[in-house]
Amino acid sequence: MEQQKTTQIVEALLFAAETPLSIRQLRNLLSEFDPEQVGAAVAELRKQYNEQEPARGIELVQVAGGWRFRTRADLSPWVRRLYQQTPLRIGRAMLEVLAIVAYRQPVTRAEVDAIRGVDSAGSLRALLERELIRVVGRKELPGRPQLYGTTKTFLEVFGLR
């Protein structure tokens, strides 16, 4: 099929997706298309949305190992009016625990407690509920403690790849 049609379909998929889509996921979804055309479509969309003058209200960004559309940061005051929701609040203790998990992952609760010097069960539970961390496995120790790691939601919230 022609490149323009591929670009239109990729644009529609990225727009409709709730989570970032990787090039691999896009190629799997569009298996009947030439894989190079799918990659070229993402590059073309990135150029159209991010480099065109005057700038558009949305941009195509790479985040959490994939691509997604989002509103430009300088327009966020107006977009916030649409969603009168409270921002994700993370207390100091939770931020400490999240930083330890992010830097030391996979990490057990006992290891987090040892680094902090206090019990971290409550913070770990709250971070699990907010889907910023997840259980990634179990350590080969007596009792087989859970190992924690960060999630794609963590990457999205903090704007990381």
Q: In this model, does residue 51 exceed pLDDT 60?
A: yes
Q: Which helix (H) or strand (E) covers residue 107, if one does?
A: strand 107-108
Does 69 lie in the same domain as 129? no
Segment 97-114, tens digit of pLDDT: 999 999 999 999 999 999
Q: Residue 95 CB: number of other CB atoms within 10 A?
A: 12
Q: Which of 56, 82, 108 is the C-terminal boundary of a domain?
A: 82
Is the per-residue pLDDT at 86 higher than 80?
no
Q: Using the predicted structure, report yes or no on whether residue 88 has a pLDDT greater than 80.
A: no
Tokens representing residue 37 in the block: 């055309």
H runs (alpha helix) in 17-137? 23-29, 35-50, 76-82, 92-104, 109-116, 121-129
CA–CA distance, 6 with 94 (Å, rounded to integer): 43
The predicted structure's pLDDT at residue 67: 95
User: Over 70: is that where the pLDDT of 85 sits?
Assistant: no
pLDDT band at 159 (very low <50, low <70, confident <90, very high): confident
- Looking at the structure, tell me whether residues 65 and 102 fall in a common domain: no
Instruction: Tell me, yes or no, whether 45 and 99 share the same domain.
Output: no
Give the domain extent around 139: 92-157
Does any domain span residue 87?
Answer: no
Residue 161: pLDDT band (50, 70, 90) is confident
- Strand pairing category for 133-138 and 107-108: unpaired
CATH of the domain at 68: 1.10.10.10
From CA 161, how far away is CA 146, in angstroms rounded?
A: 25
